[in-house]
Amino acid sequence: MTQMPNRRILTFPAVHPCKCVSPTTLLDALIALARTISGHRLSAFSAHRRHARETIREVRIILVFLEEIRNCGPDLPESAMLCFAELYVALEKISYLLEDCTRKGARLWILMQSERVTNGFRILIRMVATALDVLPLASMDLPLEVREMVELVAKQAWKVEVSTDLSDEQAVKDVRAILHSFENRIVPNSIDLRRVLDHLAIRSWKECNEEIKFLEEEIKFENSKEKEGDITLLSSLMGFMSYCRAAIFDDFDSRSSSNEWSDCRNEGCVIDGLNLEDFRCPISLELMIDPVTVSTGQTYDRSSIQKWFKAGNLNCPKTGEKLKNTDLTPNIAVHKLIQKFCYDMGVGATETSNRSGRDLGRSLLAGSPVAAESMRILAVFLVEKLSTGTAEERNKAAYEIRLLSKSSTLNRASIVEAGAILWLLFMLSSSDPSTQENATAALLNLSKYWKGKTVIFESGGLGSIVDVLRNGLKKEARQSAAGTLFYLSSVAEYREEIGKLPWAIPALVELVRNGATRGKKNAVVALFGLMLFAGNHQRALVSGIVPCLVDLLTSERGDLVDDSLGVLAALAENPEGTHAVVMASAIPLVVGILHSSTSRVGKEYCVSVLLSLCINGGTEVVSVLQKLPSLMGSLYLVLTEGPSRASKKANSLLHILHNMRSPGASSKLPQAVRQELLVSCPVS
């Protein structure tokens, strides 16, 4: 059988055997296919059992016939070979159809495609009948009983009535009735939900989760298509299954072996969890080229928000609040992340922003009214469990929120609006490691949503998050707390308040020093966000941040090296930071990375660090740089091939190195020169 690992469900590509294939090879392939089909167990079919049973029975008879022919020898008439070729195509498609009907996680989707599946069985059974009808049985040396069996199969294949099972039809009606309830904001009856789940043999949290993961993949595929497809139905079914997973199955059965549980245990890296959705302008739905923040703390692409103002709008597009002023503050943290994301994905920012916002629009909005309302109902249900449930129910609710908020802005918005954040913050003080971990990870995901940041801050959650960062019961909780601080630091007011907490920056530095890789990653990017407020620099330097970052420059993970360089570049902008970087013997490492790194972001950070060191350190730093032979060539390479910002910085650094070669050069740059360089080529 031809393997099709990337085949879409309910598509039946088939390979027609070559005309020159030998009879023996073709028979062997047919027999292998027939055995595969015959090996299906009826218990694996949650729907379309009657069709599957009849098809498998017929193929088993054909298998006996094929094995008898092979035993009779290789001499077959040419007309028989043509029939066998057609039979091969039919059996291959039958095998695909049966595989789809038993596919892991696809039970609900197969049920809702009953008409399509039934039509597939009808066509394929008729294909088998056609191939058998024209077989020259009389010219084959076969036992009479075998010949009669084949003739009987052909006749039955033509006569059999292929229609959807009544039980499947009723189950489809039940599902549609439940979806209708969701759309009308009516909480469905648990008895109705269980009846559908029992029909599909979905009896555990794990099996329900498998259905959700399958639907997620199908939605991603539909979003990638140019034409409208099944997105509405898929989104509705996703809402249905998500509600069932949280409301019907009370505990994490087999969670220790569940792939989803394992995935969540390994999540928490704020960069790894980012996607284009996080970097789109809320106005244009396109990737932000120049992200700026308005007085409400919301971030937009500069061109989009300026058009908004020119149209006479003086309120925030997201919150609707009246703006105190129309000042636009560059969001350097988001800008750097967008650059890194594009470089890691191998695309340019303009290329990505020019793509249609269709897929993003669907992630910001519900794929269907059913999906929107079911999520709102589910969010209210989960918050009720958080507030009044037992300890185990609260833990499960936090875990469900953690899953639901991982990738969907719609889900995050519904959960925040339902009031989950206050209860999750309360759960951070739990003495149960699992509960604390799930609550912290859920808050990390919700902090990606603009209103989530606001609620966390206004609820006084900063202190609780820092407490978990310092004393979390598990490393996963500590790294999620660091990630949450990163997202909160994207708001100027919040990064200042975080820095004022006595233990916030020292705890992040400690995580950089002794944390696991993901913890280091989250701590470094959180520190990057906090360093955008100059008042936090001294606190970081006192906490010993520079030696920790310099140690990370030897890491095998390029992204961790780039992030560390970004923080060093920010710190080196002031004389105290420059002194700390020089004393940590970082210059040779930075120059080495500039020479060997393939990361454009990393190279730009290297040049930024060296430029700041020269501006603030004068000839002492320049003399060290001039002794490193690889530096000049690396700078010229950046100058000719690098992005425009990196090129400008490299040009400024080369200018300094050349001008300070003379014996009479001042030990420090003249103030006017330093000011000119800082203005014309900002290091940040």
pLDDT, tens only, 186-218:
999 999 999 999 999 999 999 999 999 999 999
Diameter of the chain measured on Cα atoms: 111
User: Are the C-beta atoms of residues 369 and 234 closer than 8 Å to each other?
Assistant: no
Residue 338 has pLDDT above 60, yes or no: yes
Strand partners, 322: 315
pLDDT at position 670, please?
46
d(CA 326, CA 314) in angstroms, rounded, equals 8
d(CA 640, CA 519) in angstroms, rounded, equals 36
d(CA 504, CA 470) in angstroms, rounded, equals 8
Q: Where does the pLDDT of residue 227 fall: very low under 50, low under 70, confident under 90, or very high at 90 and above?
A: low
User: Are the C-beta atoms of residues 424 and 386 closer than 8 Å to each other?
Assistant: yes
pLDDT at position 684, please?
38
Task: Identify each DSSP E strand in 279-417 by its residue range.
Answer: 291-293, 299-301, 329-330
Q: What is the mean pLDDT of residues 300-316?
A: 87
CA 626 vs. chain centroid, Å, equals 45
Question: Inter-axis angle of helices 231-247 and 190-199, to 10 degrees?
Answer: 110
Question: Inter-axis angle of helices 49-72 and 78-101, to 10 degrees?
Answer: 150
Residue 255 has pLDDT above 70, yes or no: no
pLDDT at position 220, please?
83
More confident residue, 57 or 151: 57
Q: What is the mean pLDDT of residues 470-485?
A: 95
Q: Where does the pLDDT of residue 324 fall: very low under 50, low under 70, confident under 90, or very high at 90 and above?
A: confident
CA 84 vs. chain centroid, Å, equals 46
Among 110-119, 282-291, 340-349, 645-654, the range of highest mean pLDDT: 110-119
Residue type, 565: L
Q: What is the mean pLDDT of residues 17-27?
A: 79
**Span 577-600, pLDDT tens digits:** 999 999 999 999 999 999 998 888
For residue 327 the two structure tokens come to: 């000042």
For residue 101 the two structure tokens come to: 């009907």
User: Are the C-beta atoms of residues 553 and 590 closer than 8 Å to each other?
Assistant: yes
d(CA 502, CA 504) in angstroms, rounded, equals 6
Residue 420 has pLDDT above 50, yes or no: yes
Residue 620 has pLDDT above 60, yes or no: yes
Q: What is the mean pLDDT of residues 120-129?
A: 89
Residue 494 has pLDDT above 60, yes or no: yes
Q: What percent of the chain has pLDDT over 90?
A: 49
Residues 6+ apart with CB under 8 A from 237: 108, 109, 112, 175, 179, 215
Residue 266 has pLDDT above 80, yes or no: no
More confident residue, 524 or 674: 524
Residue 313 has pLDDT above 90, yes or no: no
Compute φ and ψ for 329, nearest 5 degrees: -105, 125
Average model confidence (pLDDT) across the chain = 84
d(CA 523, CA 484) in angstroms, rounded, equals 10
Strand partners, 534: none
pLDDT at position 345, please?
44
How far is residue 600 from each of residues 331, 523, 581, 625, measured CA to CA in Å? 20, 22, 22, 21
CA 56 vs. chain centroid, Å, equals 39
Q: What is the mean pLDDT of residues 247-257?
A: 63
Q: What is the mean pLDDT of residues 119-129?
A: 89
Q: Where does the pLDDT of residue 65 fall: very low under 50, low under 70, confident under 90, or very high at 90 and above?
A: confident
Name which of 139-143, 530-534, 601-605 the model is least confident about.
139-143
Q: Is the pTM above the cut of 0.85? A: no
Name which of 12-26, 253-267, 501-515 the model is least confident about.
253-267
